[in-house]
Structure 1
Amino acid sequence: MDDKQQFLHYINYLHGRMASEDRQQLEAWYADLEDVEPEEVPTLSAAEKRRLLDRLLVQIDGAQRSQRKHKVLRLIQVGAAAIVLLAVGYGWMQYHFKETEPGRQPDKLLYFSSAIGERKNLHLADGSVLTLFPNSRVAIMAKGDQRDHRKVFLLHGEVLFDIARDTTRRFIVQTDHLVTTVLGTQFRILSDPDLPTTHITVYSGKVQVATADSSKILNAGQEITFDKERALFGSTRQTAALPDLRVHGQVILQQADFQELSVYLKNYLGIHIHTTSARIRQQRYSLPIHRHSAPADLLQTIADLHKNRYRSVGDSIIFY
């Protein structure tokens, strides 16, 4: 079996498209690798692993992966066997992207990221502007022929899209669960691996948000959430007509739960907060978070809101 066949065999396993007997054989093979010495298998650098994961997301274009995504991440991190499969996949992808049809320019992925606390504006060739909020990452597909559509992959984080109107070409934004399609509008998407939902807010124009099984139309002044685990849309709600203070490096949380609060603290200030208390996880928080906030003062304010306490454990803050 050559490298390409091995990689496709692995992808079929992750997608549940493998016969029971083949699945058992693959799992038995994996179990036999537990005693392999780490130095006997090829390794990838952290940057190569990050690029491979991003490309895997692009390759599984539009697939429903709410549960499979977690399985991919677990298998990639479990040890030497996963590294072997990643190395095989990486080699095949390099071959795949180089071998294109005669006369056709190969697809290119351009990656852009914002650091913790950083806001970055991306000006696209068509006049569209993408505002990356702190700790966000996108991949822009620059195809040889873009007459049909324009496309961006939101890999993680929060992005404000101000899309130049073009009635001949759709603008498509893809996350790991949703595809959002527009002609010209302004909207925002928050898709973070630490959040159980994806948030879409429309400020002007109209967008279509779709999965493989259902879709929603959002007009200006509307927002919706999508439950990743259950693959269900929430109710459409009315929202502000203009972008909020995130554009200026500040976010004002309104009745956010502890999990959403933790994501914004991580992205804006690099602070990692956790709790094991079911009571605290149910509490709601309304407060401003600025990228220049003093961490000690902000943590004390958060604790005082519900008369909680916190302590430092390594690099984390534990609320109790």
Structure 2
Amino acid sequence: MLGRYQRGECTAEEQRRIRAWYDGLGAEQQLDLDAEERAALLATVWQRIATQTTGRLPTVASAVPAASRTNRTWPSSLAWAAAAVLVLGTGLTGVYLSRNAVSTPEGEPARSTAAAWVVHTNPTARPVAVALLDGTLVTLAPASSLKYPRRFQGPQRTVYLTGEGFFDVFHDAAHPFLVYTDQVVTTVLGTSFTVRAHAGQPSVVVRVNTGRVRVAPRSRAAGTPANAPASVVVVPNQQAVYSAARQQLRRELVAAPVLLAPQPFVFDNRPVAEVLAALEKAYGVSIAYDAAAVRNCTLNLSLGSEPLFKKLDIICEALGATYGKADGRILFHSRPCLPE
């Protein structure tokens, strides 16, 4: 992410995250880890830095300065540490681990008692970073809590969230990562996404930044409609929204889709199908339309940095068309064009 930030390629949300994490670099707190756990976390951190910058996996001895291989707080005062934090997309100096013992929630399968549970609550007014020993990085929003085992054991990596958290999950195809809230469970292999599940709010929202996640209700209550989906798969620029009151799980587009694959939007008398395909590629969205209706339609226009839906408004105005949204897709409706 640091490289993209320096090249000016980050989205507005990613720039906000980097600035927020950088502002928190000076707030050093002691990591409550034993020597073995500290070594494991440090190895994973440097593995992530290496793979995201050079594509090679270093050893801890070769990658970490000798002065850093001690049992102390993270050296945020050093320039290399600040750069590493930004590459990883989180501020390790903001990590605080609470040793509160928490039992496994009722209804969940029993897990090894060797993996003590840790609860991290953010009582501050700004996001804080939590680094898990598997390399997963979590940004915990204010008034939110994350519960996780000190060491992941077994075939799955399971955590429990109350409130809101942004997850940058370390890829491990053999050990899926599961985020439980009161209402839904989100399953991933390696991706980044946000879960918003504040107590008392009517809906749980899962929004994807990269990769794919599967979202499912934790249970199907009596009276759930027979045609209700058991789960939905969500990709970037989509979100899953679950309403417990309605027993309804739906997939939808985010309010402001971000540009995923920058490209020019200059069209000189080009077919409408080509213009729509360019939008699909740029924003990673699916646009459904009647191919026969737009067969003879062409456009001569130049689009710039307008948001996706503004671009669609311009296209619709030029064609006398309309569009709607359903199930995470765009439905484009155009009148047939006469052949020239």
Q: Name the TM-score, length of structure 1 as normaliser.
A: 0.43
Q: Name the TM-score, length of structure 2 as normaliser.
A: 0.40
Larger radius of gyration: 2
